[in-house]
Structure 1
Amino acid sequence: MKKVAIIDDESAGRKLIREYLEDFPDMIIVAEANNGVDAVREINKFKPDLVFMDIQMPGMTGFEVLTRLEELPQIIFSTAYDKYALQAFEVHAIDYLLKPYTKERFKMALSRIPNSDGNSGLAPLTNSLLMDTTDYPERILVQFQKKLVTVAVSDIVWIEAYGDYSKIHAGEEVFVSNYGISILEEKMDPKIFLRVHRSAIINLDQIKSADKYGKGYQLLMKNQEKVMVSRGYKDKLQQFIF
């Protein structure tokens, strides 16, 4: 059995880790915290073997938490920021999960935990940070009112540019992402999500019909919303028209 603590200031982030851990009955959650101060207290109290640690949190950062622990557990960072990856390596983290991540990526992180002979059988963290991965998320965390909620990627109908942010249309719901549309384009599977306008990305599986509109197209999506395909992007769409 391995004792686990989950440290994340967002309840949705903690919930996702709990759900993924259901596939690992030998992992027992003994503590949770949503800020750095409580994290120090809970980890020092319960002495977990493994800690899933966010980095940007109220009170103190995940790195500051580590400096205040009586015993240093195994650490897997789980964060939305990629700029701390090398610093994570410096504190000997097992892995660095960049949100949003898939269940498969989560399992890979757990596979990196050293076994009894000290080997995990996988490439070092430094290599994983530099690899160009094609592992796309199945679910993402997005802003809804004052909290983060989980949205299945397959439910996303289309993504709309919203200034420096993006609006994610999923069925009848609309969520706000802190990422700009170009960043989301890189994070989504290009076999499913297609940029059709500088302000729009569509889920190919969610197209109901397409009509020619001027020098482009107008798409009717399955949620009955209409999305324009601009002239500069129509060639991409035409690759899927037979």
Structure 2
Amino acid sequence: MKKVIIADDEKAGRVLIKEYLEDYPELVLISEVNNGVDAITEINKFKPDLVFLDIQMPGKTGFEVLKHLEEIPKIIFSTAYDEYALKAFEVHAVDYLLKPYTKDRFNLAVERLNTENDKLGSLAQSILMEEPSYPHRVLVNHNKKLITIKCEDIIWIEAYGDYSKIHTESQVYLSNYGITDLEEKLNPKLFLRVHRSSIINMEKVKELNKYGKSYDVTMENGQIVRVSRGYMEAIKRITL
């Protein structure tokens, strides 16, 4: 058994790691925190074998956390910022998970737990050269709990203040992420921003209706999404 701590200020990030850890009964989660100060306290208290560590957190950054530890456990960084990858391996991190990452990428990080330190330099370079990975599922709110839905089931996404509504064939879900955040996380080969308030799944488009110099997009569920003038160039991606 190996003790695990998760330190990530995003609840969705912590939930995803816990979900992926279910496939590894030998990795036992003993604590999770949402800021750097608590991370220091919990790591020094429990002396875990492995920490999934975010970099940009309130209180202390991930690197500042490491400076205050009595013993350094194995570290897998989990962050949305790629510019810290080389620095991460300077402190002998096991791996560097760049959000958004897939379950397969997470599994690879766990497999690297036994990677020898002298191999980490080339590992860092290979990670920096990796093609961006995009999630196959996203976390959404449903009946006061977080569930995952397949990205391929998303028909379109609608801005909803600081949040987003995700439309599927059978349900509309609320995401804690704003529409711009979702645009950055989702595969651009599949999802297209057509309005400041709308993203469509290009595989779920039923028809385009041109009027004047703009378009309406009719989706498979019958809903109509307006294409704004600022995104007219983007619509050419789904027209011949």
TM norm. shorter chain > 0.5: yes
Partner of 1:113: 113
Note if 1:169 corresponds to 2:166. Answer: yes
Match of 1:60 in 2: 60
Alignment of 1:1-242 (within 5 A): 1-114=1-114, 118=116, 124-140=122-138, 152-159=150-157, 167=164, 169-171=166-168, 172-175=172-175, 177=177, 180=180, 184=183, 187-196=185-194, 200-229=198-227, 231-239=232-240
- The structure whose residues are more often helix, as a share, is 2
Contact 2:94 2:120 in 1 (8 A): no
Distance 1:83 1:167, change over 3 A: farther
Determine helix, strand or coil for the equivalent of 1:65.
Answer: helix
User: How far is 1:121 from its partner?
Assistant: 8.5
User: Are the counterparts in 2 of residues 12 and 141 from structure 1 also a CA contact under 8 Å?
Assistant: yes
**Aligned partners of 1:143, 1:80: CA distance in 2, in Å?**
22
Q: Distance in 2 between matches of 1:234 and 1:63?
A: 43
In the aligned structure 1, how far is the partner of 2:82 from the partner of 2:39?
22
Distance 1:123 1:22 in 2: 30
Q: Residues 34, 211 of structure 1: CA spacing in aligned structure 2 closer, same or farther, 3 A cutoff?
A: same
Q: Return the letter of the residue paired with 2:216.
A: Q
> Shift of the alpha carbon at 1:178?
5.0
Out of 46-55 and 153-162, give the one that drifted further: 153-162
Q: Indicate if the aligned counterparts of 1:219 and 1:227 stay in contact, CA closer than 8 A.
A: yes
- Name the amino acid aligned to 1:126: A
**Where do 5+ consecutive residues of structure 2 fail to align?**
none
User: For 1:56 and 1:205, how far apart are their aligned partners in 2?
Assistant: 35
Aligned-pair CA distance for 1:36: 2.0
- Looking at structure 1, the residues matched to 88 and 178 of structure 2 have their Cα atoms a distance apart, in angstroms, of 23
Aligned 8 A contact 2:134 2:187 in 1? yes
Q: Residue 126 of structure 2: SS of its match in structure 1?
A: helix
Contact 1:39/1:65 (8 A) holds in 2: yes
Identity of aligned residues (%): 56
Taking structure 1 as reference, are residues 221 and 176 closer, same or farther at Cα in structure 2, changes over 3 Å only?
farther
* More deviation, 208-217/4-13: 208-217
CA RMSD of aligned residues (A): 3.5
Q: What is the Cα deviation at residue 148 of structure 1?
A: 8.7
Q: Distance in 1 between matches of 2:167 and 2:6?
A: 28
Residues 140 and 174, structure 2, Cα contact 8 Å, conserved in 1 = no
